[in-house]
Amino acid sequence: MKFLQALKEAIASLSANKTRSLLTVLGIVIGVGAVIGVLSIGQGAEASIIGQIESIGTNVIYVYRGNSAKNVTNPRRLTLTDADALSNRVRAPHILNVASVLFGQTSVRFGDESTQTSIMGVAENYAEVTDLDLSEGSFFTESNVTSRSSVVVIGPELAERLTGRRTGIIGTTVHINNYPFRVVGITTAKGGSQFSNPDLDVYIPITTMQMRVQRQSDTNAVDFLLIQAQDSQSIDLAIQEAKSILRTTHRLTSRQPDDFTLTNQEDILSIANSITKVLTIFLAGIAAISLLVGGIGIMNIMLVSVTERTREIGLRKALGARKFDIQLQFLTESAMLSVFGGLIGIGLGWLLGKIVGLIAANSGTPLIPEISLKSVLLATLFSLAVGLFFGWYPALRAANLEPVVALRYE
């Protein structure tokens, strides 16, 4: 009852100075808005990155050359021989499939339209290993690979950039590295970031890539291997098998470290996760500084208000208000100010997230900002705490005013 009364009086007194109250809470609004916005964008980014990584397939192991943890001089290139050795069912019972990948950048041209993009030379089993779905047409076949056919599977966004359409272009000819290629398939849109967008990728048979794009003397070399484990439970076993096979094919003695690296998706996921988390916390921390500034603003205005209302405080004390009553009254006001600011800030943060989400969607990056109940609750409680913390001193000053002095104040 007493608290309800304090609440009512706080509303009355704050709305008596509307402009001032609004300006005072602006700091909190911006602070909470920034924190909520950053958190929601961070969560959206995390979800989007995880989604992308997971879209590759859950039981895939990446093999690439070199070893960043150990100092390896002259690491051997990965080869098709390695891939063959890994595909040995007897030596590697937990490996289901191995896809060799040649990776490069190239220009793709259709009519007058030309664009630079990443190209992958892969065998027919790539689609299966990486769960690559086609929206149209089909992936190239084993005979395409052995006969070094000039066929290509392209991403939908690339298709749109080149031809203006995402469908109905099977059988069209595009030029890669100035060689004509027949489009046999379009991949299903997955979405991606500015840096790696699978919808812009180009896939051609690995043999064709060797001949038409890379023109290497060493036709055995590949850029990386993708190993598909039997299932997600056997990933660790598959990694062990792959490791021992690769050490044999690379003729490493027991004292030499691995000259290759095996990572699975869990590792990549956890790295990506921790990067986005650290970034989010860092940005939210910076945003939280403005909350501090907002709190100081509230303290400032509350001190002004205590001075302005010295006579009122004196009168209330003369009429029987105890220290606690006065303190409660001013604390309620500062807490209400900052919670009010916090609520507007949550709205602002939500808006910020929405806008960033819209911009991201327009630039082809699917990022859906998420505002969790947890962060809303946290923001509300935090702004309440800011109000109480920064209102404490002004309220105490009001409560400790001598009634005689306060009543005489002009």
Partner 1 sequence: MELSPQAAKPVIDVRGLTKDYYLGEIVVPALRGIDLQIFPGEMVAIMGPSGSGKSTLMNMIGCLDSPTSGEYYLDSLLVSDLHDDDLAVVRNQKIGFVFQKYNLLPRIDAIENVALPLRYSKNTDNMRQRAEAALQAVGLGDRMRHKPNELSGGQQQRVAIARALVNEPAILLADEPTGNLDSQSGREIMELLLKLNQQQNTTIVLVTHDPTVAANAERIVQLFDGLVKSPEAIS
How far apart are the C-alpha atoms of 336 and 316, rounded to whole Å? 21
Shortest Cβ distance from residue 272 to partner 1 (Å)? 56
| Nearer Cβ to partner 1 (94/317) | 317
In the bound complex, what is the minimum distance in angstroms from residue 16's beta carbon to partner 1?
5
Task: State which residue, 90 or 319, has the beta carbon closest to partner 1.
Answer: 319
Whose Cβ is closer to partner 1: residue 43's or residue 329's?
Answer: 329
Determine which helix (DSSP H) or strand (DSSP E) holds 287, and give its type and residue range.
helix 265-308
Token pair belonging to 302: 């509350």
Q: State the Cα–Cα distance between residues 33 and 347, nearest whole angstrom.
A: 7
Looking at the Cβ atoms of 229 and 326, the one nearer to partner 1 is: 326
Whichever of 147 and 400 has its CB closer to partner 1, that residue is 400
Binding positions for partner 1, rule: CB under 8 A: 1, 5, 12-13, 16, 311-312, 315-325, 402-404, 407
- Give the Cα separation of 68 and 261 in Å (integer): 8
> For residue 349, which of 42, 25, 38 has the smallest C-alpha distance?
38
Closer CB to partner 1, 10 or 78, in the complex: 10
Least separation, in Å, of the C-beta of 404 and partner 1? 5
Cβ count near 23 (within 10 Å): 12
Rounded distance, CA 113 to CA 104, Å? 20
CB of 43 to partner 1, least distance (A): 44
Chain Cα centroid distance, residue 388: 34
Look-up: residue for tokens 């009543």? 407
Q: Which two tokens stand for residue 363?
A: 């630039």
Name 326's Cβ contacts closer than 8 Å, sequence gap at least 6: 313, 316, 317, 395, 398, 399, 401
DSSP strands (E only) in 238-336: 260-264
Of 217, 264, 214, the C-alpha closest to 239 is 264
- If the CB atoms of residues 364 and 403 are measured against partner 1, the closer one turns out to be 403
Residue 115 or 310: the one with the smaller Cβ distance to partner 1 is: 310
Q: How far is the CB of 338 from partner 1 (least distance, A)?
A: 22
> In Å, what is the CA distance from 16 to each residue of 22, 198, 329, 345?
11, 58, 15, 22
Closer Cβ to partner 1, 26 or 407, answer by number: 407
State how far the alpha carbon of 91 is from the alpha carbons of 112, 171, 219, 235, 247, in Å. Answer: 51, 42, 25, 15, 13
Query: Using CA atoms, how far apart are residues 394 and 399, in angstroms rounded to an integer?
Result: 9
Least separation in angstroms between residue 35's CB and partner 1 is 34
Q: How far is the CB of 316 from partner 1 (least distance, A)?
A: 7
Taking the complex as a whole, the smallest distance from the CB of residue 392 to partner 1 amounts, in Å, to 19
Would you call 384 exposed, middle or buried from its count of C-beta atoms within 10 A (0-12, 13-18, 19+)? middle
Find the shortest distance in angstroms from Cβ 301 to partner 1: 17
Residue in the block written with tokens 């900052």: 338
CA-CA distance, 287 to 299, in Å (whole number)?
19
